[in-house]
Structure 1
Amino acid sequence: MEENSLIYGLELQARALTPQYGEGNDVCFFIATNSLKPTNQLHLLQYDEEQGTIQSKIFEHALGEVWKLNSCPNDARLLVTVYNVQKGAQVLSQAALLTLPADGPKDAADEPIKSEYIPWAKIEVLDTAELGERVKTVEFHPSQEQTLACVVGNKLAVMQRAEASTRVVAEVSSSSSGAKHMSPFTTGKWSHHHQGHQFLALHDTSVRAYDVRDTQHCAWSIEDAHGQFVRDLDCNPNKQCHLVTGGDDGCLKVWDCRMVKAPVFERSDHSHWVWSVRFNTFHDQLILSSSSDCKVLLTCAGSVSSEAPGTESGEAIAAGSQERHKVLSDGLLQTFDQHEDSVYCAEWSNVDPWIFASLSYDGRVIISKVPKQYKYQIIF
C-alpha cells in the first residue's frame, strides 16, 4: 500500500547506500554493489518527483566489493567507499576517496565515451595499512572539510586531509583492558553536537563516545545498550545528547547520553537484526529502520523528539519563534514490505523530508514517501 514508490534494480548484489549530502536541490542517492565479480558499480540516482522517474549515472568501482559508502556533507562530488581486496589468501578491507567529474559530456559534438561507465575525476586510496587490515567505516566530519574519522579493527583514527594526501593525527584503541582477543569496533559516527569533538563508536553491545582531542579519552559510554550486537546508530540533529541505536535483538532504542542506565524510548517491532536506524533531519519524531526481516519501518518517537511539549525546542516553538508542528502518537506508523531480501540500508533524503530510499541485498532500491496521512498531520 506504499504511495508512489519507485523501484530501481541493480544487476548485482548491494548493501551500501547514502544520500548525496552536498547536493542541495535534487533528491539524489549513491548506491554501490557488493559482488565477487571482477567489476563492481556505483550508481548515482536522481529522483524526479514531478515526473515520477529515476535517472542514473553509473561509475565503475574496480577496487572491489563495496561494504560501506559515505558522501561528503560539504562537497557534492566527494564520497568514500570501504571495500574488500584479496591479497594472496588474505581478504583485506580498505578505503578510497572518490571524486565525481565536474561536468558530463559538453555536447553531442564531443568524442563519445568509450566505456559504459563514467570515469572518475580522482581516486585516492587511503593509507590505512598501519592501522589494521579491516576498515569498517570512514566518516566525514560534519563541518570540518579536511577531517575524517576512520574505524579500523579495534582502532579509531582521526585523519587530516591535505590537498594530495591523508595522514593519521590521532588514534584511540578499544583494547584498553589488555585482553588478547579484544573484539573490534563495529562502526561509528561523528556526533552532531559537542563542538564536533566527539566520535561515537559501536563496540560489541556497547556505545562509546570518544573525545578526539585526547588519546583514549572516553567521554561517556552506554554499556550493554542491546542484548546482542549493536549494528547502527544515529544522532538526533535537532536535540542534543539524543541518539538512536539498532541491534541484533531486533530493538530500536533512543538514548539520552546524560542518563544511560535505560533508553528513553524503545520498540521491538522487527523480527530480526536491525541494520540501519535514522532520525528524520527535519522532523526527528520520525525514525526510519531497516532489518534482515526484509522490512523498513517508520516509527514515531514524538514524546522524546525536539518538538515534544516541555522540551526546550518545543517551548521555543510554542512561543512562536518557529513554525509549530504536530507531534504524532508514539509507536509504529507504517511497515514497508516491498523488499524480498535483507534490507541493509534505509536513508532519508537530505533535500525532501518526506522521501527516503531503502536498499536490499538483492540489489533492489526503493524510493518511498512518508504516507500523506502522517505528513499532513505533522504540518497542518
Structure 2
Amino acid sequence: MDDANGLIYGLEFQARALTPQYGETNEVRFFIATQSLKPNNQLHLLEYNEEKASIRAKIFSHPLGEVWKLNSSPHNARSLLSCYSFQKGAQVITHSAVLTIPENLDDNDLDSEFLPYDNVEILPTEEFGTDVKTTEFHPTDENILATVVDGKIVIFDRTQVKSRCCAEITTKNSPKFTTGKWSQHHQGNQFIALHDCAVRSYDIRDTNHCAWSIDDAHGQLVRDVDCNPNKQCHILTGGDDGYLKIWDTRMAREPVFIRGDHSHWVWNVRFNTFHDQLLLSSSSDCKVLLTCAGSVSSETTEEDGEPKKLLSDGLLQTFDQHEDSVYCVEWSNVDPWIFASLSYDGRVIISKVPKQYKYQIIF
C-alpha cells in the first residue's frame, strides 16, 4: 500500500456506519455495518496487518435492521452501540442496541457464515421518541450512555436501569437535534449537540443548562463535530457549506481556523488523537481530505518551551479512491498514521498519512 492508494475492502451492501475498535490497544481494527433494506444486514470487524498489507474480516449478522450509526466502547473492546431502523406497521422506527461480541474469535470461527453475539441489549428509548440519531458511550463511565432522540438528549444509567432527559428542543416547529457527542473534558459532564446551523454544549447535571453555544457555526446544516483531545476548548465542525472550522468555545464569535476545500456536504470530521494538527474530513464530493491546522494545535512548542517547526496550515492530501459519498472517516486508535474511510457503495479504504508529512511531524 503506497501513500496515494489505500487498501480496499468491499461490502456486499450499501453502508454508512464505521468506527474504530476503541477498546483494542494492539491491533488496528474497525467495525463497519451495512444499511440494506433487505433483512440480512451485516457487521464486519476488520483487522489491518501493515506488514502483510492485508485485511482480515470477521462477520456477524445484524438482523435488527439497517444500521445508521456505530460507536464502539472506549472501556470494553467487545462492546459497541448500533443505531438501526426497522419497519413497525406503517412507521419506520430507529432504536439503539448495545452489542457484545465473543471474547475469543479464532481462525476456526471464520468458517462460519455469520458469527453470534454474546449479548444484545436494546435500549428503552421509545418513551422519548422513535427517531434515534445516535447513542454515545460516556468517556469515563462505561455504564452511562447519552442518546439523541426526537429533539431530546437522554441520559441512560445501565446499572440502575434509569433514564432522564437532560435537554430538549421545546420550540414549536423548530428543527430537532441532528446528532451529538460527549466532550472528553469537563469531567465528562458536557454533551455537545448539533441543532440546525448551531452547536450547543449541555451540562448534564442541570436540565436544559447550555454551557456554551455557537448559534451560526455554519451557513448551512452542521453535520459533525469532534473535540480536540489535547485542547479542552477546541472543537472541529463540518457542514453542508463544505467548510471545516475549528472553534475556541471560550470566544466563539469567529472560528480560529477555517478551510473550504470540499465541494459538497462535509459528513465527517476528526482530529488526530495523537497529533491534533492533522484533521480528516469526508464529503459527498467522494473525497477524503487530510488537512493541517498546526497553528492552532497543541503541538506549537517543544518540551523545552522552544517554538516547534510545524507543517504549513492547509490542505495536505486529497484521497479520491471512492466513487460515492464518503459518509465516514476514522483514525485508528492504535496507529496515528492509519485511517479508514467508508463510502455509501460499501467500499472501505484503509489509508496512511503520506510519509513526507509523517517524518516532518516526527523529526
TM-score range, shorter chain: over 0.9
Conserved in 2, the CA contact under 8 Å of 1:92 and 1:134? yes
Amino acid in the other structure paired with 2:42: Q
Identify the residue that residue 138 of structure 1 maps to in structure 2.
135
Query: What do the CA deviations read for 1:142-188 (whole angstroms, capped 9, x no partner)?
Result: 111111111001000111112xx74303431022xxx3222110100
Where in structure 1 do 4 or more consecutive aligned residues deviate above 2 Å?
1-4, 112-115, 317-320
CA RMSD across the alignment: 1.6
Map 1:327-366 to 2 at 5 A: 327-366=310-349
- Name the structure 1 match of 2:208: 216
CA contact under 8 A between 2:14 and 2:36: conserved in structure 1?
A: yes
The structure 2 residue matched to 1:127, chosen from 118, 124, 137, is 124
**1:376 pairs with 2:359:** yes
Distance 1:368 1:113, change over 3 A: closer
**What displacement does 1:113 show?**
8.7
Q: How does 1:33-52 map to 2 (within 5 A)?
A: 33-52=34-53
8 Å CA contact 1:326–1:379 kept in 2: the answer is: no
1:257 aligns with 2:249: yes
1:173 and 2:168 aligned: yes
Task: Kindly provide the CA deviation profile for residues 331-358 of structure 1, in whole angstroms up to 9, marking residues without a partner as x.
Answer: 0000000000000000000000000000
Give the 3-state SS of the residue equivalent to 1:263 in structure 2: coil
Matched, 1:281 2:273: yes
Does the 8 Å CA contact 2:236/2:246 hold for their aligned counterparts? yes
In the alignment, residue 41 of structure 2 is paired with which amino acid?
Answer: N
Amino acid at match of 1:141: H
With 190-199 and 20-29 compared, the bigger mean Cα shift is at: 190-199
Give the secondary structure class of the aligned counterpart of 1:270: coil
Aligned to 1:311: none
In structure 2, distance between residues paired with 1:19 and 1:169? 29
**DSSP 3-state at the match of 1:318:** coil
The answer (yes or no) to whether the contact 1:17–1:31 under 8 Å persists in 2 is yes
Are the equivalent residues in 2 in contact too, given 1:2–1:336 (CA < 8 A)?
Answer: no
Amino acid at match of 1:172: A
% same residue: 68
Contiguous gaps of at least 5 residues in structure 1: 309-313
Q: Does the alignment pair 1:266 with 2:267?
A: no
For the pair 1:230 / 2:222, whether they are aligned, the reply is yes
Contact 1:325–1:379, Cα closer than 8 Å, also in 2 = no
Supply the distance in 2 between the matched residues of 1:189 and 1:329 (Cα, whole angstroms): 29
Cα shift at 1:104: 2.6
* In 1: Cα distance, 2:280 partner to 2:161 partner: 34
**2:98 paired residue number:** 97
Q: Using the alignment, how far apart are the partners of 1:135 and 1:52 within structure 2?
A: 37
The 3-state SS of whatever aligns with 1:216 is coil
**Structure 2 gaps, min length 5:** none
Contact 2:256 2:296 (C-alpha < 8 Å) held by counterparts? yes
Deviations 1:316-338 (A, max 9, x none): x2338xxx964211000000000
Q: How far apart are the structure 1 equivalents of 2:343 and 2:111?
A: 31
Partner of 2:239: 247
Q: 2: distance between equivalents of 1:284 and 1:182?
A: 35
Q: C-alpha separation between the residues in 1 aligned to 2:258 and 2:174?
A: 29
The CA distance in 1 between the partners of 2:340 and 2:110, in whole Å, is: 30
- In the alignment, the residues of structure 1 paired with residue 210 and residue 265 of structure 2 have an alpha-carbon distance, to the nearest angstrom, of 27
Note the C-alpha offset of 1:5: 1.4
Deviation track 1:192-213 (CA, whole Å, cap 9, x = no partner) reads 1111100000000000000000
Distance 1:89 1:285, change over 3 A: same
Question: Counterpart of 2:68 in 1: which secondary structure?
Answer: strand
Q: In structure 1, what residue type is equivalent to 2:320?
A: D
Question: Is residue 71 of structure 1 aligned with residue 72 of structure 2?
Answer: yes
Aligned length: 362
The CA deviation at 1:240 is: 1.2
The AA in structure 2 aligned to 1:51 is: K
User: 2: CA distance between counterparts of 1:159 and 1:171?
Assistant: 10
The match for 1:116 among 96, 113, 117 is 113
Change over 3 Å in CA distance of 1:166–1:363 after alignment to 2 = farther
- Residue 166 to residue 327, structure 1, CA distance change in 2 (3 Å): farther
- Could you tell me which residue of structure 1 aligns to residue 181 of structure 2? 189
**8 A Cα contact 1:127 1:166, kept in partner:** no
Mapped to 1, the partners of 2:164 and 2:288 lie a distance apart of 38
Quick one: distance in 2 between partners of 1:131 and 1:290?
31
Equivalent residues of 2:58, 2:110 under 8 A apart: no
